[in-house]
């Protein structure tokens, strides 16, 4: 089974440190691999973009 789409929403994921988001994403995709061309989206709180969350730049 592969996932065609994975979305974390509500802005809540951005309360986690970058390392924890990466670790969680790795664990999820290890158990449920993404299909070729799949989308993986993380909704962010706009107040968290920048500063210590600079790695969460909009595309």
Q: CB 14: neighbour CB atoms within 10 A?
A: 20
- Higher-pLDDT residue of 56 and 4 is 4
pLDDT mean over 32-59: 73
Q: Is the pLDDT of residue 21 over 90?
A: no
CB-based contacts of 10, cutoff 8 Å, min separation 6: 43
> If we measure between CA atoms, which residue out of 53, 42, 48, 57 comes closest to residue 8?
42
pLDDT mean over 32-50: 83
Q: Is the pLDDT of residue 5 over 90?
A: yes
Residue 22 binned pLDDT confidence (cut-offs 50, 70, 90)? confident
Average pLDDT taken over every residue of the chain: 79
């Amino acid at each position: 089974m592969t996932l065609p789409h994975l979305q974390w929403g509500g802005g809540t994921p951005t309360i986690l440190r970058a390392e924890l988001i990466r670790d969680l994403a790795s664990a999820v995709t290890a158990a449920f691999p993404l299909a070729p061309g799949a989308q993986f989206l993380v909704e962010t709180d706009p107040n968290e973009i920048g500063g210590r969350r600079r790695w969460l730049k909009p595309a």
